[in-house]
Structure formats: structure tokens, C-alpha cells
Chains A and B, each alone.
Chain A
Amino acid sequence: MGSVMGRFFSRGFRGRRRPREQAESDRVPPGQYLVDGFPVLSAGPTPRTPLDRWDFSIVGEIDAPKRWTWGEFRELPSETFTRDIHCVTKWSKLDTTWEGVSVDTLLGGAETAAGYVTAFCDGGYTTNLPLEEVTGGKAWLAFAYDGEPLEPEHGGPARLLVPHLYLWKSAKWVRGLRLMNGDEPGFWESLGYHNEGDPWREQRYRGD
């Protein structure tokens, strides 16, 4: 009994309760339900850009624009991370594991006065974010899901992953980031969806 109490107290006092030990219900934002599968939503044909024609660039308000080929991108230091994801169509999926390059690594301390970023993609999709929502360890350019190369249906070869916001901000088939002084609504943000998209504040639609 003493050891049980001791474990309880040590865990409580150190505050190290890990996400997977939390009750699942604490991890589901308001209005969401859990799924086991990984739904695919299509707003257009699935792009299939060959890796030898793929590149990723950072352009716009930056002192020196950046560009990587696929080979150069895969040489960058990457991280494996596990996060919950939340789609505005109300499904959430817990403990999804990805591998990707942090947006901090891509920016690499570049000089910019930009406050916003627009992600642009094969197929013409765009989404807009404040720069501070994709820096500080909050966003990645992900190239693997569940230990496998990211499938085209899920945005492969690489997608943005910004798991603390609704998943439409995690642009599939992303090819670059445009650093901007002003904010410009993207594909869904210009069709009545919320500009920020925080699932914990249930920011689904403009006006929420």
C-alpha cells in the first residue's frame, strides 16, 4: 500500500502524467468524436508529383529565399513525434505518429519581418497561418506516417503538419511557404471557415 501511495504521489507531484495516460475523453475537443481509421477527404484530384521533380521552397518576405530538392530535404535533421489530430468535419484521431522536419529547422533562423505564412501546394490548395503558429516546435513538414512513407492520399510525399489546429491547416502536398507581411485567407478560410482554427476553442467557422 505504501508503494502504491508513493507511486501516486510521485507521479502527481512531478506532474509528468503523459498524454496517453490521460482519459481519452480529456483529449477530445468539444464537438469531436474519435475514429480508429484515417478518413481521406478530397477537394480535387490527388497530385502525384515524382520525387525527382519535387522541391520545397520558402519565399516571400525573407532575406534569401530557400529551396530544397527531395534529396536535400531528406538530409535535414528530422524528428519522430506522436500527436492527436482533429478534423473540422468532427473526427479526431489519437496518438498518430509522424516523421518530419520541424518548420524551425527549415526557417533556420532566417531574417524575416513577416507575421504570416501561406502554405502553397500541388493542386492549388493554400492555407494561411500566423508565423508564430508554425514556429517554436509546433509544426513540421512530415514525410512519413506510422513508420511508412506518406501516401499520396494523406498528402505525400510531404505535408505540413500543425496538429494543434484543425487539420485543414496541415496542408497536403505542400510545396512551399510564402512569408507575408499581411494575412491572406486560404482555400477554406475564404469559404467561411475560421481564420485560426483552434479545435479547443471550437473555431470552425468565421464568427465562431
Chain B
Amino acid sequence: MDEQRLDGNAVGGLLGEIFPFEMTSAETACAGCGATSGVGAAMVYAHGMGTIVRCASCDNALIRIARHNGGGMGQYWLDLRGVAYLKIEEAT
């Protein structure tokens, strides 16, 4: 029904452009409902204006990322208001 819905692994490449860690295995806590999950288990919507990672339990927007050319400069906009925390494992 929602053909643009992907699983959380689909956002790994985009998050990998921003963070120097494997982000699909990072743990998130939802600021809306408190559910914890791996980023790879969240729901990803690849909208043409930006990528939205949503909580699989309550649909709250956990992470919002837009990559565009504001002011003629390539830039990432990252909104993490929807996560209570992100736990990122150091590479071993």
C-alpha cells in the first residue's frame, strides 16, 4: 500500500555519509512511545524531499534527513527530535 516504505537498512547508506559508524545496528529509543529498536528495524520512507525514519511501533518520525543544495551548497539537514537516544557501537 505504501510503496515508498522500506526497511531501516535502506537508510544505512545515507546515514553512513554522515556518521563514521555502521548505523543500521545502532539502537534508537523513540521519543514518542519509548520503544527501543535497531535503526535497521525501523520504517523508512524515501520521500523526494527527504528521508524519514519512523518508529515501527507508533509511526513517530525518529530521524529526518534532507540532502539538498540550499544556497547553492550541498548540505545535509538532520533532525533527531524524535529519538530519546541513539546508541552507536564503536567499530571493533
Contacts and interface: CB of A to CB of B under 8 A. Distances in A.
A86 B52 CA distance: 22
A208 B49 CA distance: 16
A44 B49 contact: no
Contact of B68 (A39, A40, A45, A204): A204
A38 to B, nearest CB: 14
A161 to B, nearest CB: 18
B17 interface: no
Given A191-B64, A191-B66, A192-B66, A42 B71 contact: no
Interface string B1-39: 111110000000000000000000000000000000000
Contacts of B54: 44-45
A124 B81 CA distance: 14
Interface string A164-194: 0000100000000000000000001011110
B2 A191 contact: no
A89 interface: yes
Interface residues of B, number: 24
Given A206-B70, A207-B70, A43 B52 contact: yes
A192 B75 contact: yes
A190 B52 CA distance: 13
B92 interface: no
Interface string A102-140: 000000000000000000000110000000000000000
A41 B68 contact: no
A88 B70 contact: no
A110 to B, nearest CB: 32
Interface of A: 39-46, 87-89, 123-124, 168, 188, 190-193, 204-208
Given A42-B47, A45-B5, 4 more contacts: A40-B4, A191-B50, A193-B68, A205-B71
21 contacts: A40-B4, A41-B48, A42-B5, A43-B45, A43-B47, A45-B2, A45-B5, A46-B1, A123-B59, A124-B61, A188-B50, A190-B79, A191-B79, A192-B75, A193-B68, A204-B70, A205-B68, A205-B71, A206-B70, A207-B71, A208-B70
The 3 A-B pairs at the shortest CB distance, nearest first, are namely A205-B70, A207-B71, A89-B48
Interface of B: 1-5, 45, 47-50, 52, 54, 59-61, 64, 66, 68-71, 75, 77, 79
